[in-house]
Structure 1
Amino acid sequence: MSRLIRFNKPFDVLPQFTDPGGDRRTLADFIDLPGVYPAGRLDRDSEGLMLLTDDGRLQARIADPKHKLEKCYWVQVEGEPDATALAALSSGVVLKDGRTRPARARRIAPPAALWPRVPPIRVRKSVPDYWIELTIREGRNRQVRRMTAAVGHPTLRLIRHRIGPWTLDALAPGCWDRLAPP
C-alpha cells in the first residue's frame, strides 16, 4: 500500500531532502521516513502544505499541472488589492512566460490558524498589508508571487493551505502526519 504524508513546511526550508551547499535546512531535518518524495515543490521562502508519497502515479497526479489539481494559497500582500486587482488575478495575469490560467481570488481576514513566521515579515508603517486567498490549477515557478506583483501587490508571505482535497488543518509548522491515500 502506498504512503501519503502531509507536511507543514516552515519558512526557509528547502523542499527536498538534500542541500547541495550542505548548510540549509531540508525536509530531512523534519521527516525521517525513507522512500517518500515530494509531490510538487514549494519555494524555500514559502510555507505550508507539502504532500510526499512513495507512489509514482500518485505523485504525478498531485504534481502534474495536466491533472489541474487545485492549489489554494493564503497570500499576505503589500497594499490593498481592489476589485480590479482581484479581477485581474481571477481572469489570468500576463507574465513573461505567458498568461496564467484563470484563478479564484478574494480578500480574506488574516487566517485564524496562522502561526508566527520566523523571522517575521518586514512591516512598513506607511504601507498597509492585506490577505488574499488565491486558488490556481497550474504550478509555474514562483507563479503566485509573480501574479500578485503583476497586479501591483508584491507578496510578503505565502502559505499553501490546500492541495486538491488535502488541507493543513491544524498541523503545526515542521510537523507531518500520514494520510489515507485516495
Structure 2
Amino acid sequence: MARLILFNKPYGVLSQFTDRSLDAARRTLSDFIDLPGVYPAGRLDLDSEGLLLLCDDGRLQARIADPRFKMPKTYLVQVEGEPGDANLDQLRAGVQLKDGPTRPAKADRIPAPDLWPRDPPIRVRKTIPDSWLKLTISEGRNRQVRRMTAAVGHPTLRLVRWSIGDLTVEGLAPGQWREIAVS
C-alpha cells in the first residue's frame, strides 16, 4: 500500500527536502516532514502556498504529476484588478504563452475566501483593487497560473493551490500534513 502525504506548504518554503543554493536560510520540506522515503509529486513555487502531495510510490507520483494524466489542479488566485468576462473567457479558451498555448482552464470570479493570513502579507495598493479567481488547470507548466493571469492583464498577488483531483488542503493549517492510505 502506497503512502500519500497531503501537506499545506507555506509561502517561502521550497518544494524539496534540501536547498542546494547559496541561500541556506530558505526553509524546505525537511523543516516540516520527517518521513523517510517520501518525495514530492510535482512542485509548488517558493512564493505559492497550499496543497503539495508527497508519496513513496513512483507510479502514483507520475499519475499525480505527469500532465499526460490531466489530473485537475484547482487554485485560489488573488489578482490585481477586477477581471471581466472577456478576461475569464480568455482563460477558459486557453492562453497563448511564450512556450505555446495552454489547455483551456475553468475560471470563475469568487468572493474572497476565508484563508489563513499570509506571512508576509501581499502588497496592497490603495488605488488598484484586487479580486479572487478560482482557476482549475490540467497541466503544470512552470509558474503557469501566474503567467496565465498576467497574460490576460491581471497579475497574481497570491496563489493558493486548493486541490489536486479530489484531494484538498481543507482543514490543514500552513505547515501541517496528514497521511492517507492509497491502494
TM more than 0.5: yes
Aligned residue in 2 for 1:7: 7
What displacement does 1:111 show? Answer: 1.1
TM-score (norm 2): 0.98
In 2, Cα distance between the equivalents of 1:14 and 1:131?
A: 25
For residues 130-180 of structure 1, the C-alpha deviation after alignment (integer angstroms, 9 at most, x for no partner) is 000000000000000000000000000000000011001111000000012
What is the DSSP-based 3-state SS (H/G/I as helix, E as strand, rest coil) of the residue aligned with 1:135?
Answer: strand
Aligned residue in 2 for 1:51: 53
**Correspondence 1:152 to 2:149:** no
Gaps of 5+ in 2: none
**Correspondence 1:73 to 2:75:** yes
Aligned residue in 1 for 2:162: 161
In 2, Cα distance between the equivalents of 1:34 and 1:16?
A: 13
For residues 19-78 of structure 1, the C-alpha deviation after alignment (integer angstroms, 9 at most, x for no partner) is 012221000000000100000000000000000000000000000000000000000000
Q: How many residues align?
A: 181
Aligned residue in 2 for 1:23: 25
What is the DSSP-based 3-state SS (H/G/I as helix, E as strand, rest coil) of the residue aligned with 1:152?
Answer: coil
In 2, Cα distance between the equivalents of 1:180 and 1:122?
A: 39
The equivalences for 1:85-96 within 5 A come to 85-96=87-98
Q: Which runs of 4+ in 1 moved over 4 A?
A: none
Question: RMSD of aligned C-alpha atoms?
Answer: 0.7
What is the DSSP-based 3-state SS (H/G/I as helix, E as strand, rest coil) of the residue aligned with 2:42?
Answer: coil
In 1, Cα distance between the equivalents of 2:138 and 2:176?
A: 26
Aligned residue in 1 for 2:99: 97
Gaps of 5+ in 1: none
Q: Which amino acid aligns with 1:173?
A: P
TM-score (norm 1): 0.98
In 2, Cα distance between the equivalents of 1:37 and 1:148?
A: 29
Aligned residues with identical type, % of pairs: 70
